[in-house]
Amino acid sequence: MMLKEFPEVPRPDDLSPPSRPTPQNAVQAQPAPATDSVSPAAMALDALRDRRRLTQVQMAQLLKISQGAVSKVERRTDMFVSTLRNYVRAIGGDLEIRAVFPEGEVLIDQFSQPTRSAHPAPRNPSRRFERKASTLI
């Protein structure tokens, strides 16, 4: 199964005024209610979206994908870090990945911003042909 990588999504507060979601089209994320617990609660993506008072249709508009694609993302148990980052950014959050050890936690910053080095540039096919041709002589 091939996974679809979603485009980088701006946070709602980073959008320019003409494209900023408005209450009229009901896409603006509402702040989550304050919780009494000190540590963050664990929850699934659909529960997080519900907590932010957004529908799948509204998420689809923010992510520029279909409502069905939002549903698929919310049901996945394995996805690209960039897909999860874009989902969280669309509802106004920032994604942090932490490794938890008995002696403490470590923030892994490798995934904080996408890099081009994750996908190396394709080789120039004409140079590859020249190399192969030179080994045959």
- Tell me the domain boundaries of the chain: 12-32+41-117
> Given pLDDT bands bounded at 50, 70 and 90, which one contains residue 110?
confident
For residues 5 and 45, the model is more confident at 45
Residue 125 confidence (pLDDT) above 80: no
pLDDT of residue 23: 42
What is the rounded average pLDDT for all residues in the chain?
A: 74
pLDDT of residue 35: 45
For residues 20 and 61, the model is more confident at 61
DSSP output for the chain: -PPPPPPP---GGGS-GGGS--GGGT-PPPPPPP-S-SSPPP--HHHHHHHTT--HHHHHHHHTS-HHHHHHHHH-SS--HHHHHHHHHHTT----EEEEETTEEEEE-TTSS--GGGSPPPP-HHHHHHHHHHHH-
> Given pLDDT bands bounded at 50, 70 and 90, which one contains residue 103?
very high
Residue 15 confidence (pLDDT) above 70: no
pLDDT of residue 25: 42
Q: What does the pLDDT look like over 28-69, one tens digit per residue?
A: 444 545 444 445 678 999 999 999 999 999 999 999 999 999
Identify the CA nearest to 82 among candidates 71, 97, 66, 67: 97
Instruction: Provide the CATH number for the domain formed by 12-32+41-117 in this structure.
Output: 1.10.260.40
List of residues 6+ apart from 69 with CB closer than 8 A: 4, 60, 63
Rounded to whole angstroms, how far apart are CA atoms 106 and 64? 33
For residues 124 and 17, the model is more confident at 124
